[in-house]
Amino acid sequence: MRSIKKYTLKNPLEFKNKLLYWAQQFEDVVWLDSNQYSQRYSSYDAVLAVDTFTSVKTDYQNGFDALKEYQEQTADWIFGYLSYDLKNDTESLTSNNFDGLHFPDLYFFQPKKLFLLKENVLEIQYLRMVDDEIVEDFDTILSIYQEDKGQPCGKVKISLRITKDVYKSKVSKMLEHIHRGDIYEANFCQEFFAKGSCIDPLQTYHHLNDISKPPFATFFKMNHHYLLSASPERYIRKEGFKIISQPIKGTAKRSLNPKDDQQLIENLKNDPKERSENVMIVDLVRNDLSRTAAQGSVKVEELCEVYSFEQVHQMISTVVSKINKNTSPIDVLKSTFPMGSMTGAPKISAMQIIEELEVSKRGLYSGAMGYFTPNGDFDFNVVIRSILYNKEEEYISYTVGGAITAKSDPDKEYEECLLKAKAMREVLEGV
């Protein structure tokens, strides 16, 4: 059981910065921020979970079973992530590529201390064992007047895991699979990394978030592992018996000139390649949702709608379904994971080819970060546009990719990767 106390804030934006700064004292931190982005499906503007009471950490083997047992036994708020490599738990697949980050495949924790912010109302939920600290903690957060900028780490030098020529040759091999009919589409990714380097995670997150202002921003800390995410994409959400999935496929750059920017939106809306990418993934998501859906309940609410973010325009679709009351929330995740926007179609064949052609283990990248509520609702983003950091091993990484279809041009695909990498590169290298 949790004790609940509510406060009305005079300056929610200022309070958010203080709250995240205050959270840095804890070993486990999940911070989720919508950046005031107006969404149809949304519960809070920001959420902070800290101070672990219980947790589950495992590799992919029986990962979803372990999560189901933990979620059902806890029957409380739990926060954490699903790494891409949990695909090996749902299908006969492997992950043998290089891994410089070494995140566990699955991790969730039950926080003693929880903060839920909506507009100017802050709801604090503490487990009873620490509820005598609510007022003191709130006063401490309010009294923070100066943020520590952290220790300077020097400039980060980013390296490419594969060269442009190698990338193009691998895309060409992907196209061979498509032309043979092995797959229709696959998401192919490449890693950018720095070894023997350090960053200040909080300041790096703030910089990335200020540049991007995405609706699914995340700061995650698990001891020496960090995720600093500017994700624009929701993977899946559960509201009662309703399931919502919002895949992104289709990207265009922004322009400072309003007229040119509007033209870029129109071009994206009417681009046959981008639309076909999106529609293929919508079909895949519909199929995934149908595994747990009540008969006839899978519907496409939005198809190929263009949404604008600070760095890019994105084409987003919304697919929904209804589940029966006896359907486990974990079964919904297991039957849809990994998300179609980061795999391809057919899904299993695409994942096999991805593993063959990519050279880095994806790990948390293209996985999902989010939470469960006590009644079994959930909300998860897609871990993209993100910086991953292993502080102990001094390894920094970000990965970008794109959908390869029959109409893909290797040079243009590489340009799209660089566009998606722009914010992370600017934050780390200052260019």
In order of 144, 292, 340, 417, the CA distances from 14 in angstroms are 10, 42, 37, 34
Give the H/E segment covering residue 422: helix 410-429
pLDDT given for residue 342 in this prediction: 95
pLDDT given for residue 153 in this prediction: 78
Q: Among residues 185, 191, 233, 274, which one is catalytic?
A: 233
Let me know if 429 is a catalytic residue. Answer: no
Find the CATH number of the domain harbouring 267.
Answer: 3.60.120.10
Let me know if 233 is a catalytic residue. Answer: yes
For residues 150 and 203, what is the distance between their CA atoms, to the nearest angstrom?
8
- Structural domain tally of the chain? 1
Q: How far is CA 228 from the centre of its chain?
A: 10
Q: Pinpoint the alpha helices (H) of 216-300.
A: 258-269, 272-290
Provide the domain limits for residue 114. 2-429
Facing residues of 31 across strands?
A: 48, 219
Q: Give the three-state DSSP class for 14.
A: helix
In order of 168, 361, 371, 415, the CA distances from 220 in angstroms are 33, 20, 12, 29
CB 91 within 8 A of CB 348: yes
pLDDT given for residue 217 in this prediction: 97
Q: Among residues 87, 170, 238, 249, which one is catalytic?
A: 249
Mean pLDDT per 10-residue segment, the chain (431 residues): 96 96 97 88 94 97 97 98 97 95 98 97 98 97 75 83 97 97 96 96 96 95 97 96 95 93 95 91 95 97 92 93 96 96 95 97 98 98 97 97 93 93 92 61
Global pTM reads 0.95
For residues 84 and 79, what is the distance between their CA atoms, to the nearest angstrom?
17
Of 246, 251, 383, which is closest to residue 311 (Cα–Cα)? 251
